Amino acid sequence: MNFRAFFIITLLTSCIAPSNAAAQTNRTQTDAVKNDTLKTDSLKVYRAREVQVRGLREVRAAEQTLPIESLSRAQLETLNTNTVADAVRYLPGVVLRDYGGIGGLKTISVRSLGAAHTAVQLDGLSVSDRQSGQVDLGRFGLETVEQIDLAHAGPPDNLSTAQAYSLASVLSITSRAARFESFTDPLSLIAKVQHGAFGFWSGHLSTMSRLSEKTFLALAIERQTATGEYDYLQRDGLFQIPQYRRNTDVNQTRIETDFGFLFSPQTKLHLKIYSFDAERGLPDAANIGNADNSRDRLRNQDAFIQASLQTAFTEKFTASFKSKFAYNFTRYTSTFPEARYIQREVYASASATYAFTETLTFFIASDIARSTLFTTLYQAAQPSRTSLWNVAGVKFISPSFSIETNLLSTLVGETTELGTASPSRSELTPTFAIGYKPFADMGLRLRGYYKKSFRLPTFNDLYYTRVGNTSLRPEFATQINFGAGYEQSVSFGGAFVYLRVQSDLFAIRSTDKIIAIPRDTFNWTMLNRGLTETLGIDLHAEVELQSESLGAVSLWGNYTFQSATDADPASFTFGGQLPYTPFDISAFGLTWRKNFFSLGTSAAYSGFRYSSLANEIENFLPAYWLFDATASLNLTLFGVQSVLKAELINLLDTQHEVIRLFPMPGRNARIALTLKH
Partner 1 sequence: MNTIKKNHAVRFQLWLLLLSFALLLQACKEVPVGPVEPLSAVTKGVYVLNEGNFGSDNSTLTYFSLDSNKATTDFFNLANGRLLGNNANDLKIIDGKMFILVTESSKIEVVNAADGKSITTISLFNGGTPKKPRSIAFAAGKAFVSCYDGTVVVIDLASLAVIQSIPVGAYPEEIAVQNGKVYVTNSGGLNFPDYDSTLSVIDPKTLVESKRFKLRINPTNIAADNYGDIYAVSTGNYGDVPARLIVIDAATDIVKKTFDFDAGSITISGDFGYVISNGKLIRINVKDETIVNETFIAADNFTYFYGVSVDETTGDIFCTDAKDFTARGTVSRFDQNGLKKDSFDAGINPKRVSFFRQ
State the residues that interact with partner 1 by CB under 8 A.
236-242, 285, 287-290, 292-293, 336, 378-379, 466, 517-518, 521-523, 571-573, 611-614, 616-619, 660-661
Task: Using DSSP bridges, classify how beta strands 250-264 and 215-226 pair: parallel, antiparallel or unpaired.
Answer: antiparallel
Q: Which of 128, 220, 130, 132 is nearest to 171 (CA)?
A: 128
Chain centroid, CA 198 distance in Å: 25
Supply the minimum distance, in Å, between the C-beta of residue 101 and partner 1. Answer: 17
Supply the minimum distance, in Å, between the C-beta of residue 622 and partner 1. Answer: 14
Q: Which residue lies nearer to partner 1 by CB, 334 or 641?
A: 334
Supply the minimum distance, in Å, between the C-beta of residue 294 and partner 1. Answer: 10
Q: Is residue 634 within 8 Å of 626, Cβ to Cβ?
A: no
Supply the minimum distance, in Å, between the C-beta of residue 488 and partner 1. Answer: 48
Supply the minimum distance, in Å, between the C-beta of residue 241 and partner 1. Answer: 6
Which DSSP string do the residues of 410-422 spell out, in sequence order?
Answer: EEEEEE-SSSPPP
Element (H, E) at 671: strand 668-676
Q: Which residue lies nearer to partner 1 by CB, 572 or 638?
A: 572
Number of residues assigned to the chain: 677
Q: Which residue lies nearer to partner 1 by CB, 336 or 492?
A: 336
Distance between start and end Cα atoms, the chain: 11
Q: Which residue lies nearer to partner 1 by CB, 104 or 196?
A: 104
Q: Which residue lies nearer to partner 1 by CB, 284 or 427?
A: 284
Q: Is residue 449 within 8 Å of 65, Cβ to Cβ?
A: yes
Q: Which residue lies nearer to partner 1 by CB, 233 or 648?
A: 233
Supply the minimum distance, in Å, between the C-beta of residue 618 and partner 1. Answer: 4
**Cα separation of 76 and 80, whole Å?**
8
Q: Is residue 117 within 8 Å of 179, Cβ to Cβ?
A: no
What are the beta bridge partners of residue 373? 343
Supply the minimum distance, in Å, between the C-beta of residue 616 and partner 1. Answer: 6
Q: Which residue lies nearer to partner 1 by CB, 267 or 573?
A: 573
Q: Which residue lies nearer to partner 1 by CB, 315 or 338?
A: 338
Supply the minimum distance, in Å, between the C-beta of residue 633 and partner 1. Answer: 38
CA torsion sign for 77, 79, 80, 81 is negative
**Cα separation of 536 and 582, whole Å?**
11
Supply the minimum distance, in Å, between the C-beta of residue 514 and partner 1. Answer: 15
Coil/strand/helix, residue 116: helix
**Cα separation of 32 and 58, whole Å?**
12
Q: Which of 659, 542, 585, 590 is nearest to 93 (CA)?
A: 585
Task: Using DSSP bridges, classify how beta strands 169-175 and 118-122 pair: parallel, antiparallel or unpaired.
Answer: parallel
Q: Which residue lies nearer to partner 1 by CB, 287 or 471?
A: 287
Chain centroid, CA 376 distance in Å: 31
Coil/strand/helix, residue 491: strand
Supply the minimum distance, in Å, between the C-beta of residue 611 and partner 1. Answer: 6
Supply the minimum distance, in Å, between the C-beta of residue 112 and partner 1. Answer: 17
Element (H, E) at 78: helix 73-78
Integer CA distances (angstroms), 232 to 23, 311, 608, 626, in order: 53, 54, 20, 15
Q: Which residue lies nearer to partner 1 by CB, 265 or 575?
A: 575
Supply the minimum distance, in Å, between the C-beta of residue 280 and partner 1. Answer: 19
Q: Which of 591, 662, 595, 601 is nearest to 626 (CA)?
A: 601
Integer CA distances (angstroms), 615 to 578, 580, 659, 660, in order: 9, 11, 15, 14
Q: Which residue lies nearer to partner 1 by CB, 492 or 572?
A: 572
Supply the minimum distance, in Å, between the C-beta of residue 330 and partner 1. Answer: 20
**Cα separation of 126 and 120, whole Å?**
6
Supply the minimum distance, in Å, between the C-beta of residue 645 and partner 1. Answer: 34
What are the beta bridge partners of residue 34? none
Amino acid found at 464:
Y
Supply the minimum distance, in Å, between the C-beta of residue 327 and partner 1. Answer: 29
Q: Which residue lies nearer to partner 1 by CB, 232 or 498?
A: 232
**Cα separation of 371 and 375, whole Å?**
13
**Rounded-to-5 percentages of helix, strand, coil across the chain:** 10, 55, 30
Helices (H), 458-526: 459-463
Q: Which residue lies nearer to partner 1 by CB, 43 or 617?
A: 617
Supply the minimum distance, in Å, between the C-beta of residue 568 and partner 1. Answer: 11
- Give me the numbers of helices (H) and strands (E) for the chain, helices first please: 6, 35
Q: Which residue lies nearer to partner 1 by CB, 235 or 676?
A: 235
Which DSSP string do the residues of 214-282 spell out, in sequence order?
Answer: SEEEEEEEEEEEE---EEEEEEETTEEEEEEE-S--EEEEEEEEEEEEEEETTEEEEEEEEEEEEEEE-
